[in-house]
């Protein structure tokens, strides 16, 4: 792998709102869907050519991954993997990724604190806090040991502000300003 993209799932239902009362079944909220959609659009504009999306089997992560998969062009493959489930260690994630070493751009969708710890290990930090629907790009310098450099980290609030600024620039251009 040349690049790993890490995406924390969007805002999800509270456990008490889930009929099964099972953490596995928590769905994205409208806010979660909206923020994941914004991040997906941003990633599409960055033209990163994601080849594969790997997602936790938990419903909120799967829904997040499905939104991203539908947004991106060209369409990446989507695979649900147990090594991204809640409670996975950085070692389990790294071991699971070995199968996909030949790919250039892989997006991981999962949970905090697991992905936060894994991101920290990749860039030799203790842990990087990820807000819900935050995404990071890491350029790998050593694919065997999975170490690399943080290229960017973006949250939906920043993407929204960039979109507003872009819309303002288009409007001013149309007015000849």
Give the tens place of pLDDT for each residue, 61-74. Answer: 999 999 999 999 99
SS3 state of residue 68:
helix
CA separation for the pair 168, 81 (Å, rounded): 41
pLDDT in tens, 94-120: 999 999 999 999 999 999 999 999 999
Which structural domain range is residue 32 located in? Answer: 3-175
- A 10 A CB-CB count for 20 gives 9
Q: Which CATH number fits the domain that encloses residue 97?
A: 3.40.50.1240
The vertex-155 CA angle with 111 and 139, nearest 5°, equals: 75
**Count of domains forming the chain:** 1
Smallest CA-to-CA distance from 2 within 64, 37, 49, 59 is with 49
This prediction has a pTM of 0.90
What is the 8-class DSSP label of residue 124? T
Cα atoms found within 13 Å of the Cα of residue 139, Cβ hemisphere only? 4
């Amino acid at each position: 792998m040349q690049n790993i993209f890490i995406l924390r799932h969007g805002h999800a239902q509270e456990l008490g709102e889930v009929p099964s009362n099972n953490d596995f079944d928590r769905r994205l909220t409208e806010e979660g869907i909206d923020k994941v959609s914004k991040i997906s659009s941003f990633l599409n504009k960055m033209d990163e050519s994601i080849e594969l999306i790997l997602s936790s089997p938990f419903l909120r992560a799967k829904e997040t991954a499905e939104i991203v998969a539908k947004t991106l062009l060209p369409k990446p493959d989507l695979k649900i993997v147990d090594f991204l489930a809640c409670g996975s260690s950085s070692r389990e994630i790294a071991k699971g990724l070995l199968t996909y070493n030949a790919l250039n751009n892989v997006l991981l969708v999962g949970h905090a604190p697991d992905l936060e710890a894994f991101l920290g290990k990749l860039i030799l930090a203790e842990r990087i806090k990820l807000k819900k629907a935050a995404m990071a790009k890491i350029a790998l310098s050593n694919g065997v040991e999975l170490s690399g450099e943080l290229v960017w980290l973006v949250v939906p609030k920043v993407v929204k502000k960039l979109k507003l600024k872009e819309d303002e620039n288009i409007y001013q251009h149309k007015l000849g300003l």
